[in-house]
Amino acid sequence: MRFPLSAGFRFSCSCGKTHEVEYRVLGPLEVLDEQGPVALGRVKQRLVLAVLLLHANEVVSRDRLIDELWGEASPPTAKKAVNVYVSQLRKTLTRDGADPIQTVSGGYRLSIDADRLDATRAQELLAHARESASAGEPNAASELFRQALALWRGRTLAGLELEAAGRHEIEQLEETRMAALMDRIDCDLAVGRHEQLIGELNGLVAEHPLRERLRAQQMLALYRADRQAEALDAYQQARQTLVNELGIEPSEALQRLQRGILAHDPALEIPTGVGGRNGTTPRSEPAVTAPEQTPPPAAPGSRFRARRRHIILAATVAALALAGGLTALTTGASGHRAVSPRVVANSLVRLDPRTGKPTLVVPVGVEPNRIAITPTAIWTSNYGDNTVSRYDLRTHAVEARAGFSGQPYDVAVDGDGNAWITSSHEDNVSGQNAFLTRLEAGTGGTSPGTLYPSHTQTIDLPLPMAGYEALGGGYLWVIVGGHGRLPGDDRLALIDLRTNQVASVKNLHDSATYITFGYGSAWVGTYTPGGNSWLEAIRAGDSKPTKIVLQNNVGWGPTWISVGEGAVWLLTNQGSAQRPVLFEIDPQTLQVVHRLDLTAEQDGAVAAGAGAVWTTGGIGGGNNRLADGVTKIDPRTDRIIKTFPLGNQTRNTCGIAATPSAVWVTLGNTSCDTIGQ
């Protein structure tokens, strides 16, 4: 069987014939010539070709190839083996004496014309598609998007597992595919194909339940198909999934779309001049005979009119809102509580994720530490004055809550805006156990600046110490322990959010250091005193956790854990050396993807979001810090981008959290340390 090949890369010979070779990575790795598929040999040889194709026309070092083939466990013969694999590939790919692989500066370069590689052809088609969309030609853009998407025959390089940065490059191509698919759906919505899209969108939402853009497109298609009840039900399903899986509310963008559907917002209708209500036939625009005449106001519910060149993919409320991200967290605060962006101690600070510069400084309590973020407010727990603070993103007011009988430790906020605060009796003189305080959402304070809700609830916990907490899967997960009297025997209490009562207590059999929730699991840092450190993955119904060994014989566990940017990220120390290490864990395979040795500049907390991984810490470490700051790390390459200084020895960067478009940190006065963990 012969395969049709587009014009492009050719190897020539003296007999006048040309032999064409086509490379495919958008699916299982394939090489085709005029006779059909080319045999590529064993797996390692195919992996070498895959890496060269991911960097076509670029130099790839031998060290990079070794990393991709064996990771950190490369054999002594790795360099020789790579040379052998490249030699075999040359024999396979050479046509008419023309060798496409060159040896250059300790590495190799695979030289091919752009249209001989499916990935570059796809990128060119996508660029043309977006040009058409920007020019107000959604039909033409949709067809170009379809041509580009047709080049994917499955998951990029399906069946091959790279060991290093190639994994991220594969994921980047998969994200390109998803973005193109959603852009094509926007085009189809713009020309009135909503009814044809509903089945496709239902399947995509089931496959990618956490992608809010797909949820918005599904809601919009249902609404335009006169299925308003189903559109609103789709929103409720999205909210339930986000709250249960991640412990967060839908973005403000998705909430605005729901409100627009409830209000029958005319902006959600199809623009006239692009398609019928249930079809795709363009309608001509009415002739304008009296341009100087002011047209009468449109009747309620009428569709708006726009010239074709003004129609872009972001024409719908959903697309505009989702493109902006969490607006409440990115707009500049101008209320009376916010001070100028001069960093001061005992404050909550918002950083620009691109520059690392402070854009907002809000005074909160003394020695603020943990941060909890909702679409409307940011909470901090303040160790220096035993309070919690709530910064309202809409009014920019700061409220405080005091009067806890034990020291507040951590704060979490559920999907309804109820705050949960863990408190402990540090000295345990009274013999009391730790407890949770639940502050009910929507209850007003008795005086300005003081958060005294009229409805509170106290929940007793089974041991004297309560530490970190996390929300997800319908539960609040709280680490409790015996304050050193029961080393290696900490517990995990699960509070049912429906009943607000302790549903179960799991024995961890180790000492616990941190917990967070994401990707459907609770992630708990643990260690055996004097022994190994672990990361444990637990679901609500699991009889026992899945344990991942991090380090041996270090005597301490992960100090901070964050989920986001496609991975689980955690900081831990290497025993007496106290050198921090950042681990990247694949949430699906539960394998360590990468570890990055850090310095004292990055030894504090970690957060994933805003396109990066962020750590806090101070130069010098411990009590000898010369400056505190935030370090930005590229999650694709696991390389440090830059450390941004924020303070000096009297200010410590203690807590950190990230949203899609901002990074938030808390600055204490002297120390981040508090009660025992």
The residue among 190, 220, 247 that closes a domain is 190
Provide the phi-psi class of 523: left if phi over 0, else alpha when psi is between -120 and 50, else beta. Answer: beta
Q: Is the pLDDT of residue 220 over 50?
A: yes
Q: Give the pLDDT score at 122.
A: 93
Answer whether residue 505 is part of any domain. yes
Answer whether residue 293 is part of any domain. no
User: Do 521 and 419 fall into the same domain?
Assistant: yes
Instruction: Count CA atoms closer than 13 A to 330's CA, side-chain side.
Output: 16
Rounded CA separation 629/633 (Å): 13
263-310 pLDDT, tens digit per residue, is 888 878 775 444 333 333 333 333 333 333 333 333 333 333 333 333
Give the CATH number for residue 305: 1.25.40.10
User: Do 428 and 312 fall into the same domain?
Assistant: no
Answer whether residue 285 is part of any domain. no
The better pLDDT of the pair 512, 6 is held by 512
Kindly state the average pLDDT of the residues 593-601.
Answer: 80
User: Do 365 and 469 fall into the same domain?
Assistant: yes
User: Do 492 and 536 fall into the same domain?
Assistant: yes
User: Do 251 and 355 fall into the same domain?
Assistant: no
Closest by Cα among 370, 344, 373, 336 to 449: 336
Judging by DSSP bridges, how do beta strands 627-634 and 639-645 pair with one another? Answer: antiparallel
Give 349's pLDDT tier (boundaries 50, 70, 90): very high
Helix axes 43-54, 78-93, angle to 10 degrees: 80
Q: Give the pLDDT score at 600.
A: 58
Kindly state the average pLDDT of the residues 76-97.
Answer: 88
Q: Is the pLDDT of residue 187 over 90?
A: yes
Q: Which amino acid is at 300?
A: P
Q: Give the pLDDT score at 208.
A: 92
Kindly state the average pLDDT of the residues 630-634.
Answer: 91
In 448-559, beta strands by DSSP E: 456-460, 465-472, 475-481, 491-496, 501-507, 511-518, 521-527, 533-538, 546-551
Rounded CA separation 444/436 (Å): 20
Q: Give the pLDDT score at 449.
A: 47
User: Do 166 and 226 fall into the same domain?
Assistant: no
Domain tally for the chain?
3
Q: Is the pLDDT of residue 580 over 50?
A: yes
Answer whether residue 289 is part of any domain. no
The better pLDDT of the pair 28, 20 is held by 28
User: Do 306 and 340 fall into the same domain?
Assistant: no
Give the CATH number for residue 353: 2.130.10.10
227-271 pLDDT, tens digit per residue, is 999 999 999 999 999 888 888 889 988 999 999 999 888 878 775
Closest by Cα among 50, 160, 169, 25 to 634: 169
User: Do 274 and 353 fall into the same domain?
Assistant: no
Give 109's pLDDT tier (boundaries 50, 70, 90): very high
User: Do 503 and 631 fall into the same domain?
Assistant: yes
Element (H, E) at 126: helix 118-134
User: Do 168 and 204 fall into the same domain?
Assistant: no
554-564 pLDDT, tens digit per residue, is 778 888 999 98
Q: Give the pLDDT score at 654.
A: 84
The better pLDDT of the pair 321, 362 is held by 362
Token pair of 84, please? 């052998």
Average pLDDT over the chain, rounded to an integer: 77
Give 625's pLDDT tier (boundaries 50, 70, 90): very low
Element (H, E) at 564: strand 560-564
Give 603's pLDDT tier (boundaries 50, 70, 90): low
Q: Is the pLDDT of residue 624 over 60?
A: no
Residue 532 to residues 8, 235, 403, 488, 561: CA-CA distances in angstroms? 56, 44, 39, 12, 17
Kindly state the average pLDDT of the residues 611-615.
Answer: 90
Task: Provide the domain limits for residue 265.
Answer: 196-279+300-325
Q: Give the pLDDT score at 148.
A: 94
Q: Is the pLDDT of residue 150 over 90?
A: yes
Q: What's the length of the chain?
A: 677
The residue among 167, 190, 213 that closes a domain is 190
- Of these ranges, 111-125, 207-221, 335-349, 417-431, the one predicted with the greatest mean pLDDT is 207-221
The residue among 190, 216, 241 that closes a domain is 190
Q: Is the pLDDT of residue 59 over 60?
A: yes
Q: Give the pLDDT score at 289.
A: 31
Give 673's pLDDT tier (boundaries 50, 70, 90): low
Answer whether residue 103 is part of any domain. yes
Q: Which amino acid is at 463?
A: L
Kindly state the average pLDDT of the residues 592-617.
Answer: 83
User: Do 437 and 387 fall into the same domain?
Assistant: yes
Q: Is the pLDDT of residue 32 over 60?
A: yes
Kindly state the average pLDDT of the residues 530-537.
Answer: 87
Q: Is the pLDDT of residue 606 over 50?
A: yes
End-to-end CA distance of the chain: 67
Q: Give the pLDDT score at 379.
A: 92
Whole-model pTM above 0.75?
Answer: no
Answer whether residue 313 is part of any domain. yes
Q: Is the pLDDT of residue 359 over 50?
A: yes
Answer whether residue 141 is part of any domain. yes
Answer whether residue 674 is part of any domain. no
User: Do 539 and 640 fall into the same domain?
Assistant: yes
Give the CATH number for residue 74: 1.10.10.10
Rounded CA separation 649/490 (Å): 34
